[in-house]
A and B are shown apart, each in its own frame.
Chain A
Amino acid sequence: MHRQIEFRVNGNKVVYSGDPLTRLVDVLRDDLRLTGVKEGCGEGECGACSIIKDGRLVTSCIIPVGACLGSDILTIEGIRDTEKGRCIVEAFRDGGAVQCGFCIPGMVMAAYVLLSSNPAPTDEEIRVAISGNICRCTGYDLIVESIRLAAERGGALWQ
């Protein structure tokens, strides 16, 4: 039986020994103070709490910490100062993708996963990739354009 859950968050080792059903979002926000992870719905429907777990995009509000055994977790705090993360953040800034901002860290994570596997996505592929990230402000067009801008500006970065 695993009484402790060991995993890594943004490269740092984390050992959790509480209730394994604790929501990952609460561990990230409350225990690790990674408040760039936002909670919008608590049901995995809005994508605001999106993080990258072992290379895949997941919503941290419906992942129990017990399911993170040995996992590598990346949050917005873990990518924002990397070259790729900066590329997306700056494209979002310059492309007008950001309004109220609450969905944006999750949206950046979705873009990061997309561009990491598809360096030159079509608009349709971008729309599919962010379809689990709900935004109430922008109507998405400028987010789509900003992700395309990140792909163009990043160029070899994403290859």
Chain B
Amino acid sequence: MAVNYVPSTLDEALLLRKDRKAIPLAGGTDIMVQGKRGLGLAPQLDRPVMIISHLKDELGGIRKDEDGSVVIGAIATAAEIASSDIVPWHVRMAASGMGAIALRNSATIGGNIGNASPKGDLPQPLILLDAEVVLISFDGERRMLLDDFIKGSKTTDLHDDEIIASIVIPPHEFTYSYYRKIGMRKANAISKLSLSAAATIKDGLVVDFRASSGAAGPKVIRSREAESMIIRRPVEDIEGIVPDFLEAWDHAISPHAMPRYRRNTTSRMLTRFLEAIVNGEPEGIVR
């Protein structure tokens, strides 16, 4: 039976990580369910768990760096993220749609990323925004794109001695933004499908275009290949590209269950977003 810990400091946590491969628990909303054993029984995992929810000075907080990047501490909760003015819109939307209030008060961004569930709410907009994850260990710090960090369903590149320290979202400005989560019901629901999209138009040219699909494959899907079909093209060309783009995106996603629904809805959402660009709708949020 694994022994579980409450380290007093970040160094103790890193040591537990290195020596015992302890699993970090910040909010517990995933781990407590994964290890659930029934009424009156403490959850158990195959490895020790270390509770780090109190290491707020080291691992919490949300700030904006001088270069405009937003740094979100790993144990920042969904509620904190949802109510922060400096967090980009896509991420705030996803955070505010995570579970219900009580869950958002516990669930953390580090946990949501580390769990790497295809249905996780936060990775999808973070990957859209080219967010990086900062990993720390006694050997120092490692940074990588979140898109590379999450390797597949429930698998990440986290080394056995590392802890997720923070997420860094580079600055960006979009002309159009889109976010949609379809849950199993209107609130307090796991994602059935989600999509983020963003585009920047300058002088009639689409200079940035990106999209990311959640719950449509083993991990969040971004297709740079499909995106490149639209980037640096004049707005008036887009309408003609839409069918090929949708086909390319459809190839990129690989929904397992409800494939028809997930594919068709993804296409309809992307169509709606592109339609806003084509029609030159007012800048801002596309609904």
- Interface residues of chain A, those whose CB is within 8 Å of chain B, are 1-2, 5, 18-23, 26, 30, 39, 42-45, 47, 50, 53, 56-59, 61-64, 66-67, 69-70, 110, 113, 128-129, 131-134
Contact = CB atoms under 8 A, between A and B. Distances in A.
Contacts of B100: 47, 131-133
Interface residues of B, number: 36
Given A57-B105, A132-B101, A62 B33 contact: yes
Given A19-B42, A44-B102, A67 B4 contact: no
Contact of B102 (A1, A2, A39, A132): A132
Contact of A44 (B5, B43, B53, B99): B99
Nearest to B107: A44
Given A62-B29, A132-B188, A21 B35 contact: yes
B51 A56 contact: no
A19 B4 contact: yes
Given A21-B35, A62-B28, A113-B101, 18 more contacts: A19-B4, A20-B51, A21-B25, A26-B39, A39-B39, A43-B36, A44-B103, A50-B102, A63-B32, A63-B106, A64-B49, A64-B51, A69-B53, A129-B101, A131-B100, A131-B187, A132-B99, A132-B101
A67 B53 contact: yes
Interface of B: 4-8, 12, 25, 27-29, 32-33, 35-36, 38-44, 49, 51, 53-54, 79, 99-103, 105-106, 186-188
